[in-house]
C-alpha cells in the first residue's frame, strides 16, 4: 500500500478544496477517499509525480463491472482534480488522467412523493402528542418537507437559527452559503411545540434536533434517515423515503402549484438554475401521467391499443 506516500499532497489538496473551492466536509472526504483508494493499488512508496496513465487505467479497469458508471465517473473526477492541483502547484509535471473521457451517466430524474403521501406521512404523527419522540419527529418532517432542506442543513441547525414568530429558518448551505427559507404554518406550529420541549429542564442546548437519550447529542444524517424509514413504515408509505426525496417532493409540488423556477432555485439554495430545471421534467412527466389516467380520450386510446395488441 502506498497511500502513505500521498498523505502530504492529500493534506494540501484538502486545504485547497476547503479554502479555495469552498467544498463541504462530506465532499472533501469523498475526494480524499477516492484518491487514497487509487493510491493503495500502487507500488509501495510510489509518489504522486511518478504515477502513469496506465496506473489510472488499471485502477478503473479493476473496478469495472463491480461499480456502476456513476461511481467510476466520480472516482476518475476525484483523481483528475487531485493531479490537476499538483500540476498547478508545480508538484507534478503532467496529469496522468489527461485525455481520459469521463463516463457519461444517464441522468436520473427525482422521484417525488405524491402530495397525499406527504400529507399521510407527516400527519401519521399526531400533533396532540406530548411524547418527545413525536414532537421531535413531527417538527423534523415538517421542516424537511416544508422548507426543502438537505439533511446536512437540517442536522446543522441550532435553536437560534429558527424564528417561529417571523416564520423562517436561517440555513447554512453548500459552500458555506447562507439563505433564509420561509416556513409554512404547519412547520411553525410543530417547531414551536418541539422548542417548548427543548427548553424544558435538562434538555437545553444549541442543536435544534437532538437524540432523546440523556446525552442529548446533535442528530446525525444517519439518525434522520433512520427516523424517516421507521416513520414511513408506520405510515404505510410504499418505497424508500429518504431526506432528499422529501426535498424533491417540496420542489416538485411548488412547481406544480405555479411557483417560479428562479424562486425555487433560491429556496433550494442551488448555485445554478440548470440544477433546478430537472424538476420541470418531473413536473411534465407527472402531467402526462395525470392526463393518461384522467382524460377520456387517453383512456380510449389505451383501450384501443390493448385490443390491437391482443
Beta strands (DSSP E) in the chain are 162-163, 168-172, 178-182
Report, as an integer, the average pLDDT of 2-8: 72
pLDDT at residue 71 in the model = 85
pLDDT at residue 204 in the model = 47
Q: Is 279 labeled as catalytic in the residue annotation?
A: yes
Question: HSE of 80 in the Cβ direction (CA atoms, 13 Å)?
Answer: 14
* Residue of 31, 145, 250, 279 marked active site: 279
Domains of the chain by residue range: 3-89, 115-272
Q: What is the pLDDT of residues 210-242, one digit of tens each?
A: 998 877 889 999 999 999 999 999 999 988 899
Name the fold adopted by 115-272.
hpI Integrase; Chain A (1.10.443)
Return the bridge partners of 158, or none.
Answer: 207
pLDDT at residue 52 in the model = 94
Q: Is 150 labeled as catalytic in the residue annotation?
A: yes
* Residue of 247, 248, 250, 253 marked active site: 247
Q: For residue 191, give the 3-state DSSP assignment.
A: helix
In angstroms, the CA 282 to CA 132 distance is 36
* Residue of 138, 150, 245, 248 marked active site: 150
Q: Which range has the top average pLDDT, 42-56, 97-111, 191-205?
A: 42-56
User: For residue 52, what is its C-alpha cell?
Assistant: 502513469
Q: Are 136 and 109 a contacting pair, CB within 8 Å?
A: no
Return the bridge partners of 163, or none.
Answer: 168
Predicted TM-score (pTM) of this structure: 0.62
Q: What is the pLDDT of residues 280-298, one digit of tens each?
A: 665 555 555 554 655 555 5
Q: Is 136 labeled as catalytic in the residue annotation?
A: no
* Residue of 188, 245, 248, 270 marked active site: 270
DSSP class of residue 295 equals -
For 9, residues 6+ apart whose C-beta sits below 8 A from its C-beta are 48, 82, 86, 91
Instruction: Give the whole-number percent of the chain exceeding pLDDT 70.
Output: 83
Residue for cell digits 465517473? 73
Q: Is 174 labeled as catalytic in the residue annotation?
A: yes
In angstroms, the CA 240 to CA 125 distance is 18
pLDDT at residue 90 in the model = 92
User: For residue 70, what is its C-alpha cell?
Assistant: 456513476
Average pLDDT, the chain: 84
Instruction: Give the whole-number percent of the chain exceeding pLDDT 90.
Output: 50
For 209, residues 6+ apart whose C-beta sits below 8 A from its C-beta are 136, 139, 140, 154, 155, 157, 218, 219, 224
pLDDT at residue 236 in the model = 93
127-131, 136-140, 252-256, 294-298: which range is least confident on average?
294-298
Q: Is 247 labeled as catalytic in the residue annotation?
A: yes
Higher pLDDT, 269 or 307: 269
Report, as an integer, the average pLDDT of 131-155: 94
In angstroms, the CA 127 to CA 75 distance is 45
* Residue of 174, 225, 242, 278 marked active site: 174
Q: Are 243 and 225 a contacting pair, CB within 8 Å?
A: yes
Residue 197: is its pLDDT beyond 50? yes
Confidence of residue 109 (pLDDT cuts 50, 70, 90): low
Report, as an integer, the average pLDDT of 270-280: 75
Q: Tally the residues of the chain.
A: 310
Q: What is the pLDDT of residues 15-63, one digit of tens each?
A: 999 888 878 788 899 999 999 999 999 988 889 999 999 999 999 999 8
Q: Are 129 and 122 a contacting pair, CB within 8 Å?
A: no
Report, as an integer, the average pLDDT of 296-304: 51
Amino acid at each position: 500500500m502506498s497511500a502513505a506516500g500521498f498523505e502530504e499532497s492529500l493534506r494540501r489538496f484538502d486545504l485547497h478544496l476547503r479554502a479555495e473551492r469552498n467544498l463541504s466536509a462530506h465532499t472533501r472526504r469523498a475526494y480524499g477517499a477516492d484518491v487514497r483508494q487509487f493510491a493503495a493499488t500502487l507500488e509501495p512508496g510510489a509518489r504522486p509525480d511518478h504515477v502513469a496513465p496506465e496506473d489510472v487505467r488499471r485502477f478503473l479497469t479493476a473496478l469495472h463491472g463491480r461499480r456502476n458508471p456513476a461511481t467510476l465517473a466520480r472516482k476518475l473526477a476525484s483523481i483528475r482534480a487531485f493531479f490537476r492541483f499538483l500540476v498547478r502547484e508545480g508538484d507534478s509535471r503532467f496529469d496522468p488522467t489527461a485525455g481520459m473521457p469521463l463516463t457519461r451517466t444517464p441522468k436520473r430524474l427525482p422521484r417525488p412523493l405524491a402530495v397525499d403521501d406527504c400529507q399521510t406521512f407527516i400527519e401519521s404523527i399526531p400533533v396532540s402528542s406530548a411524547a418527545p419522540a413525536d414532537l421531535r419527529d413531527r417538527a423534523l418532517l415538517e421542516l424537511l418537507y416544508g422548507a426543502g432542506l438537505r439533511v446536512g442543513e437540517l442536522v446543522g441547525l441550532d435553536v437560534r437559527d429558527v424564528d417561529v414568530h417571523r416564520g423562517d429558518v436561517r440555513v447554512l448551505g453548500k459552500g458555506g452559503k447562507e439563505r433564509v427559507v420561509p416556513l409554512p404554518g404547519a412547520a411553525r406550529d410543530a417547531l414551536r411545540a418541539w422548542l417548548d420541549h427543548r427548553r424544558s429542564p435538562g434538555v437545553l442546548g444549541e442543536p435544534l434536533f437532538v437524540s432523546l437519550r440523556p446525552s442529548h447529542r446533535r442528530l446525525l444524517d444517519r439518525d434522520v434517515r433512520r427516523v424517516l424509514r421507521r416513520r414511513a413504515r408506520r405510515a404505510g408509505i410504499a418505497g424508500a423515503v429518504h431526506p432528499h426525496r422529501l426535498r424533491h417532493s417540496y420542489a416538485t409540488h411548488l412547481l406544480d402549484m405555479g411557483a417560479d423556477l428562479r424562486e425555487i432555485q433560491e429556496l433550494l439554495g442551488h448555485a445554478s438554475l440548470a440544477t433546478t430545471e430537472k424538476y420541470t421534467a418531473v413536473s411534465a412527466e407527472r402531467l402526462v401521467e395525470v392526463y393518461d389516467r384522467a382524460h377520456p380520450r387517453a383512456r380510449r386510446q389505451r383501450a384501443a391499443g390493448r385490443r390491437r395488441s391482443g
